[in-house]
Structure 1
């Protein structure tokens, strides 16, 4: 576990709570995103997992099956990839995203199902419904940078220039990458 994640508030079971996770009646609402916390992370360049400052330069995020496939196809064909459709999922440190990909049940396994729907569905969240399956592949992806827009109801992100692509069927494939990253950070 990255030291910055170890310092996060914990739920009743002892699990660290990501920086963008909303709390209701002193209970974290995993799989949901808090608008204010996400906006602060975007504006202040804070990691969406640990809430700490991200240095200028590359940022990472975890992607699901459809975006993983699109990135893989673009890279295999020698084309640049840019997610023209915005996402609600903010960036983070490399170690934080490797860790998140391994410990979040939905991100870690292809047969994992969402336990919670995204609230009011819209064009960005219509697929985020209770019971939805992640799909065959996921990935931790590094990007040169990100762009964002804070609207009246959402924080939208787009990512530019893939700098690292780490696909996985099951995220335990990233264990060595995470260990190496944590050793380097020390």
Structure 2
């Protein structure tokens, strides 16, 4: 599915675009006039965490659930926990911040890496560490991804990273290809427009 055919949340519509027309998420760093989509900007992530701003559109998130897109390993772990009736909590922190439900549904569909199981990372992490060692150019996303809602998040801002943990799954929307979320995105945009 081409990104132009995916309905866009209003906050995403207001974001700056790259030369292809892709909206640039709030936490994406720029190198000159070029966004670095595979990387995360420390200052922007810290601001989103501390002010409870969506990491995609940079607008305020109300109290209550937050969403994020997860890859194959975390999607499988969440699915297994839910199927067994166990709670899930990601004990390993992540650099990926939360967002609005509509923004994360949209991101899952238009980001080539998030949208398809055969997609591969375009860039490697600049300075790999225990949180970013998996960010290697050419790495496949894997079998299943998911858009996941969590009751809340917590964060820590260190001298070099903003780390997030997510608490209590409230919604689990797994996908092989993210275009499976198209009707859910349309419905969410209809709800938020009311």
TM-score of Structure 1 vs Structure 2, range by shorter chain: over 0.9
2: distance between equivalents of 1:61 and 1:45? 14
- Hey, what's the Cα distance between the residues in 2 that align with 1:13 and 1:76? 41
CA–CA distance in structure 1, aligned partners of residues 125 and 173 of structure 2: 26
Counterpart of 2:98 (choices 91, 95, 114) is 91
Give the equivalent residue in structure 2 for 1:111. 118
- Counterparts of 2:60 and 2:116 in 1: how far apart (Å)? 29
Query: Could you tell me the TM-score, scaled by structure 1's length?
Result: 0.99
- TM-score after normalising by structure 2: 0.95
User: Aligned partners of 1:98 and 1:19: how far apart in 2?
Assistant: 16
Whole-Å separation in 1 of the counterparts to 2:64 and 2:159? 28
Superposed displacement of residue 25, structure 1 = 1.0
Q: State the distance in 1 between where 2:143 and 2:66 align.
A: 24
Query: C-alpha offsets along residues 18-69 of structure 1, whole Å, 9 cap, x if unaligned?
Result: 0000011121111110000000000000000000000000000000000000
Return the offset for 1:11: 1.0
How many pairs were matched up? 186
Divergent runs of 4+, >3 A: none
Flag structure 1 segments of 5+ consecutive residues without an equivalent. none
